[in-house]
Structure 1
Amino acid sequence: MCDDEIHQFEGTLLAPETPISRRAFGLSAAAAAGLAASVSASMAHAEATVTEKDVDIKTADGTCDAALFYPQGKGKWPAVLIWTDIMGLRPAFRDMGRRLAAQGYVVLVPNPFYRKARATETVKLDFGKPDERAQLMPMAASIGAPGAVEGDASAFLAFLDAQPQTDKKKGAGTQGYCMGGPLVYRTAAVLPDRIKGAVTCHGGGLVTQTPASPHLLIPKMKAEVYSAVAANDDQRAPTDKDVLKKAFADAGKKATVLVYDGCNHGWCVKGSAVYNEAGAEKAWAELTALYKRNLV
C-alpha cells in the first residue's frame, strides 16, 4: 500500500515491504501478549469515555467532512489535528482519534480528499487494486496543490478553537502518517504560534530536491518535532535523516529524528500489512510524551 503511495505522491521508489517481528524491540512472546492486552483495554476505555461526532467544516475550497473526538464530562483540553495516510479517514484513524481524546485532547481527523469525495466514498477504495488506486491518486494530488494544506490547516484549527471543549490557552498539536508527514511540517510552519507539538510517523517526502521540500520549512516552525523514520525508508534514502537533523540544528529547533529499526513504512497504522504493534506503541508513547511537554 504505502510503497506505491510514496512512489506516486513523492516520486520516490520504495522496495516491497515485508512484515516484521515484534522481536525487533526485544519483546518476548509473553510481553507482546501483555502489550496487546494493554492496548485493547486502552481502546475499550477510550470508547467508554470519549464523545465522537461526524462534522462538516467550511474551507476556502468547499466543505470538509471530518471526525471530532473529545473527553466526556466538563472541562477544556488542548487541540490536536491528525493527518491521515493516503487511504484517508477510516476506522483505523478514528481509533487513533478516540484513543488520543481519552488521554485528554480535543482531536480532529479530517478527510484530506474532501475536494474530490467524502470519506464514505474513499473508505471503500482498496489501494492494492490498480483500478481503485488510480482513483485515489488524483485525490492525493488535490491536497498537494499549492496553498491547499495551509488553507485547510488554518480552517481546521479555527474549527477546533471554536469548540467549547478546546482550551485555546494551551498549545495545539499535529501528527501525520505516510502522506500526512509533509502535511504536519506545512501545518507547523503556517501556524507556528498555535502548533507547539508536531509528530510524523513514516512520513514520505520530508526531504526532496525541490524548492517546496518540507524540510525547508523548519526555520518557520516553533513546535517541538518528533519524526519517526521507517527502517526501509532510511535504507533507500540514508541521508534524509541527516538533512533533517542538520536543518533542525541550524534553525535552533528542538527535534528528534529517529529510525525505527525493524519497522517498515506504514508500521504505525493498524490494518497495514506491515503493522508492528511494538513499534507503533513506542511511537505512540513518544507522541503522547511530547504532547504532555508542549501542549500546556
Structure 2
Amino acid sequence: MCHDKSDPGFPGHASITETFLSIDTLDGPLQASLFMPQGAPRGCVLVASDMFGRSPFYRMLGKRLAAEGYVALVPELFSRLWPVADGDDKAGIARIMAFDRRVAMRDLQAMIAHIRLQHPERGLAVMGFCIGGALAVSLASRAAFEATVLFYATLSPRPATELSPFVPLDDLAGCGTPLLAFWGDSDEFVPAEVIDAARDGIARSGQPHDIVVLPGQGHAFLTFDPAEPEYAASQQSWRQTLGFLDTHLGARENPLQPRVAR
C-alpha cells in the first residue's frame, strides 16, 4: 500500500551522515533525521512521509536529497503513537485513524521554524507522500515556504472531524506556493475524479502548478530499484522533481525579514 521496501541506495550514500534530532514543538519534542549536503546547501526540503513514518525508504530519500545539494529533514510524525512495522497495512491504517492532524500541523510548522532558524538564507520545499501529501497541501495554505511537491497525496473528499479538521481538497485553493504533484492513473486510493478536483483547486490558487498523471502506475510507485516495474516512471518523476526544486529553491530575498504564515 505505502512504502514497505527500503531503498537500495546509491554510490556514495554511506558518506552522507544521518543526524538524529529532538526538536521542540508545542506538543513536546519530536524526533527527526537531518541530512546535510557536503557543500553549501542549494535549499532545504522537509519530507512528510506516508503512514509508515520515518522508514528506511524515507531516510534513504533524505540521503538522496542531500546528495543533490539539499538540507533534508525527515520527522517521525507518528512518534507519539504506537510503532508500526513496515508493510503492516492493517496496523498502519489503525494508527492513521488515531492520528491527530492538528498536532501534525503544529509539528510541521515547528520543523519549518527549525529549518528557517538554521538556514534563513535558503528556500524551503515541503515534499509529502500519501497522507504526508495531504498534510503538505493543508500546510501550504497555512505556512510560508517556497515550493510544494506531492507524491500520490491522498486527497479524497471527507468531512472534517475533531482529529482531522483539515480538508486538503478545499485547502488547495489557498495554496501559497508553486506546486508539483504526481499520481498514477491506477491509484486505488486516489480516483480520477479526485485528481480532477485537485487540478481545479490548485488552479484557483493562482500558483504555478503541474499535475502529472503517470499511465499504468498505482499508489506508492516511487522506487529507486531498477528491478521494480515502476522504475522508469519513478525516474521520470524524480528528474522532474529535482528540476522543480532547482527552479524554486535557492537564495531567498530579504532572509532576515520574518515570513508571516497565512
TM-score by structure 2 length? 0.82
Distance 1:248 1:67 in 2: 30
1:285 to 227, 236, 239: 239
1:151 to 106, 123, 131: 106
Unaligned runs of 5+ in 2: 161-165, 251-262
Q: How many residues align?
A: 242
Contact 2:183 2:214 in 1 (8 A): yes
- Partner amino acid for 2:248? N
Provide the identity percentage.
24
Distance 2:223 2:142 in 1: 26
1:82 to 32, 37, 47: 47
1:109 aligns with 2:74: yes
Counterpart in 1 of 2:10? 43
Q: Which has the higher helix share?
A: 1
Counterpart in 2 of 1:15? none
Distance 2:229 2:125 in 1: 24
Offset from partner CA, 1:120-153 (integer Å, 9 cap, x none): x44x45415xxxx33x33432354x252232011
1:127 aligns with 2:83: no
Contact 1:71 1:106 in 2 (8 A): yes
Counterpart in 2 of 1:98? 63
What is the Cα deviation at residue 207 of structure 1? 3.8
In the superposition, relative to structure 1, how do residues 114 and 104 fare at CA in structure 2: closer, same or farther (>3 Å)? same
* Moved segments of 4+, more than 6 Å: none
Offset from partner CA, 1:89-135 (integer Å, 9 cap, x none): 12111110000011111111111101114xxx44x45415xxxx33x
- Partner amino acid for 2:137? Y
Contact 2:138 2:167 in 1 (8 A): no
What is the Cα deviation at residue 283 of structure 1? 1.4
Counterpart in 2 of 1:252? 206
Distance 1:275 1:83 in 2: 25
1:162 to 97, 117, 120: 117
Distance 2:198 2:228 in 1: 25
Unaligned runs of 5+ in 1: 4-38
1:172 aligns with 2:127: no
Name the SS of the counterpart of 1:101 in structure 2.
Answer: helix
Counterpart in 1 of 2:35? 69
Counterpart in 2 of 1:55? 21
Distance 1:216 1:260 in 2: 24
What is the Cα deviation at residue 252 of structure 1? 1.3
In the superposition, relative to structure 1, how do residues 142 and 78 fare at CA in structure 2: closer, same or farther (>3 Å)? farther
In the superposition, relative to structure 1, how do residues 283 and 80 fare at CA in structure 2: closer, same or farther (>3 Å)? same
- Partner amino acid for 1:52? E
- Partner amino acid for 2:157? T
Counterpart in 2 of 1:261? 215
Name the SS of the counterpart of 1:161 in structure 2.
Answer: helix
Counterpart in 2 of 1:188? 140
